[in-house]
Structure 1
Amino acid sequence: MSNEPQVPAAPPLATVKDIRTVYFIGIGGIGMSALARYFKARGAAVSGYDKTESELTQALVAEGITVYYDENVERAPKAAQLVVYTPAVPKEHAELVWYQQNGYRVVKRSDVLGAITNDQFNISVAGTHGKTTTTTMVAHIIRHAGEGGNAFLGGISVNYGTNFWQSFNDLAIVEADEYDRSFWKLSPDIAIITSMDPDHLDIYGDEKTMQDAFVTFGNKIKPGGRLIHKFGLGRAKEITVDNKWSYSLQNDAADVYASDIRVSEGGYEFDVQLPDTSIYDVRLNIGGMHNVENCIAAIAVAHCLHIPSDRIRNAVGDFKGVKRRFEYIVPPLKKVKGAYVQPVLIDDYAHHPEELNALLKSARSLFPQRIITVVFQPHLFSRTKDLFHGFAKSLEWADRIILLPIYPARELPIEGVTSEMILTEIDREDKHALTKEELLSWAKTHSKKLDKEFGEVIITAGAGDIDALVPALKEIYANA
């Protein structure tokens, strides 16, 4: 059963063009902050609440958006024409309840995103994993090629330092969130579905119901639109749109795929085979073989928009990635006097077994001789309970596994559900459950006995607050 706030249904939000004052409850969320930036760019007065201060809320404040960190009905702006909330906010939130009870227009983030994009040419990217990088790649290629585009991303683009940008034209690139079926509010002209692996079972109950939601999303593609889906996605056949392309990393049975993939200096070079042409010698300068596959989907969209091959190639070569998606905190360095001075340090948002599997397999393929340590912070008690077997199997791609306590996010603890559930299932001897403080102490000791002959890779992974430890880890290993 869903734990999202149960609120009276608001009338459909047809447009936001006349909105001049907006208040966001949960403004520090990645999707909410993109909408806050949208309204700010349009000249609206924007403010909001979030539970804790973060790098993202600090950025919003620097951009002129007021952010509060306490629930205060007296201070909540009474002139708000629109109040936007995220399903992660508890239904008992004092400000949310007050606005609901006093006749304000209170809507979910998904309603606003639907209203903004409905009258634009809409490219929506959905999937239980891969969607953030793929959305950002699509938006970057379109922007780099000079075609404009309004981007609403689920991550911070390293190229532009933001999760939102606006443009001169009515073309929107949107990350389509499946969490609370919010992607049903979108009407894509082009939709990508990267995956339908089990997730959010606290909302959907079972895998079939979750996949049903993706089928419904796909069937919202506008007449004459196109679906681009991962090859082998069985239920894609239930999506009745006439125009479909499948894509794959390198399976030539797909409509779009990569060929002649070469690993080179922490990145990849490859050719792209499309139904009617080929693009040769594409260079992707970020790690992760799964990111090559994401790139194939993004290139397929760019080709549908008739962007010339040379512009696509140049845009991909300039793509610097998404913050916390196989992000090189310390990039691969050449040996100095026969030794690797520092380990490679990678930070990633992976919080699902399939994402971890892709992350660690890619690291293993890029750095086959190096010792790989993964520090993983499980996200949500419910996800850990449902998927702990899968987490254990995925983590076994690393040589050393360190688990932090579960990050609860919106949930209360579930009795008996801890990181140790995963730890006991891992078939590795070098495995540990540590607190954050213990991790930093371990890292200080480890940094003094690194394997400098073959080198080491340290990976931090998770969707909670593990990224707050990355600067400290970087400093520890920089001084090794």
Structure 2
Amino acid sequence: MAPAIPTAMERPHFIGIGGAGMSGIAKILAQRGAKVAGSDAKESGTAEALRALGATVHIGHAAEHLAADASSVVVSSAIRADNPELVRAAELDIPVVHRSDALAALMGGLRAIAVAGTHGKTTTTSMLAVALTELGLDPSYAIGGDLAGPGTNARHGEGDIFVAEADESDRSFQKYDPEVAIVLNVELDHHANYASMDEIYDSFETFVGKVVPGGTLVISADQAGAVELTRRVRDLSSLKVVTYGADEHADVRVHKVTPRGLTSEVTVLLGGKYLTFTVSVPGRHYALNAVAALAAGVALGIPAHNLASALGKYTGVKRRLQLKGEAAGVQVIDSYAHHPTEMTADLEAMRAAAADSRLLVVFQPHLFSRTQELGTEMGRALALADASVVLDIYPAREDPIPGVTSALIIDAAGTAGADVTAVHDKATVPDVIAGMARPGDLVLTMGAGDVTDLGPEILARLS
């Protein structure tokens, strides 16, 4: 039986309903029986999926799209104050609800697992969703990306578990009260909202402090930021801390990660026993995500050997080293990586998976603020590729910053010895790659913006 829908969520209107986070909440509400409406900037498969669930989706933003009887207007931090639908909401005195508050309301009364960290949230949340579903526990879940199997980012389940990706970028993850919190890593990112690592730590401490009494924190024993956070929260008497990783003192210790082509075999030491299972995506970082998922499930009381077997059913998330296809002997793979740590991890994973292949990268920087702070590190990461094409910065929600361009990355890459080409016209990339690639190469489209659209175009050009 579906939990009761809060009054404010009975007839919600979502501004930007097609976004990864917003669409998931809208889908669950529609599945629970709410009368969902919203708008988005452009038509998409997500908009069609929402309509199939009974939602009304308008394309474009206009005041008349907001119905006068809407019970609330749901927004993310990306929605600007001058959005005509938001302005109209104020005129009609309709309550405005942040996306995180809407998600928190959906989790009410359920056993929540909230997955946080600078990197790896979507993958780990997805692994848990797939494994718990495989075990017949019928969880609800809200993820920042579409699962490769079910092809959706959210679902209302009849079980008592809710798995949610917890976004630290705007501190919205502080709204949740999980039974289990996962912290994969803690690094400085989202520079428009955080000025220092101390602010990051403070934010994560608040998130951890919201774990329900008697609940569990599952946290990395290897990553420096996570280790520091563990030190800071150890004195929370109502919190059980479970560490995982290769560190010899980890509660769930990673004994070995063995690459098997585009998969990995993972062996962990848990409760004095060794347990081996398969992760169907390449790279040590994804293997560690799976171990975090395993530890979280065990914290909920699920037998480890059952979970390990179910995790092997996970087949990936769209945009997380997703194979888009092959043409003329060239494989094209898509990566969402946009932070230097993520970029390095995915590039190293591809190197390990196909050691004898040339690796060509099409990288699109995401956000001016991130490029300003981390452009040098992005350039160094690209040195792991045999050759790279770097596009102009994808602005997303930001206005340009004077002097901040892709040249910051290209200059750093050149200094690191990388072979890098600047391409300002995205439409020319398929021709550029076709001129560079030869049979046996791997092409990786990388970034959090619309660089993902280039994969099919490159394949078509290669064909």
Q: TM-score, normalized by length of structure 1?
A: 0.90
Matched, 1:322 2:317: yes
**Residue of 287, 292, 298 corresponding to 1:297:** 292
Local SS of the residue matching 1:202: coil
Tell me what 2:194 maps to.
204
Q: Which of these residues, 423, 426, 443, is aligned with residue 436 of structure 1? A: 426
The percent identity for this pair of structures is: 35
- CA displacement at 1:270 relative to structure 2: 2.2
Picking from 229, 242, 249, the partner of 1:245 is 242
> Is the contact between residue 351 and residue 462 of structure 1 (CA under 8 Å) also seen in structure 2?
yes
The within-5 A match list for 1:311-390 is: 311-330=306-325, 342-390=329-377
Unaligned runs of 5+ in 1: 1-13, 332-339
Query: Structure 2 matches for 1:84-233, cutoff 5 A?
Result: 84-232=74-222, 233=226
| Structure 2 Cα separation of the partners of residues 266 and 63 of structure 1 | 35
Cα distance in 2 for residues equivalent to 1:92 and 1:35: 23
CA contact (8 A) 1:118 1:186 kept: no
Inter-partner Cα distance in structure 2 for 1:363 and 1:398: 10
Aligned residues: 450
Structure 2: state its 5+ residue gaps: none
Aligned CA distance change for structure 1 residues 82 and 367 (closer, same or farther; 3 Å)? same
The 8 Å contact of residues 150 and 166 in structure 1, kept in 2 or not, is answered as: yes
2:268 match? 272
Match of 2:408 in 1: 421
1:3 corresponding residue in structure 2: none
Deviation at 1:164, TM superposition (A): 0.8
Tell me if structure 1 keeps the 8 A contact 2:358–2:442.
yes
Mean CA deviation greater in 219-228 or 362-371: 362-371
- Partner residue, 2:443: 458
Q: Cα gap change, 1:429/1:246 in structure 2, threshold over 3 Å: closer, same or farther? A: closer
The residue number in structure 2 matching 1:283 is 278
Code of the residue aligned with 1:349 in structure 2: it is: Y
Shift of 1:100: 2.1
Deviations 1:47-106 (A, max 9, x none): 111122333223323443222222321332111112101110111111102202321111
- Mean alpha-carbon deviation: is it higher for 376-385 or for 284-293? 284-293
How has the CA–CA distance of structure 1 residues 170 and 18 changed in structure 2, closer, same or farther, with 3 Å as cutoff? farther
Q: Distance in 1 between the 2:189 and 2:202 partners?
A: 13
Q: What SS does structure 2 have at the residue aligned with 1:39?
A: helix
1:393 aligns with 2:389: no
Quick one: distance in 2 between partners of 1:323 and 1:360? 17
Q: CA deviation at 1:310?
A: 4.0
Q: Contact 1:215/1:236 (CA < 8 Å) preserved in 2? A: no
Counterpart AA for 1:283: T
Instruction: Say if 1:15 and 1:165 are closer, same or farther in 2 by CA, change over 3 A.
Output: closer
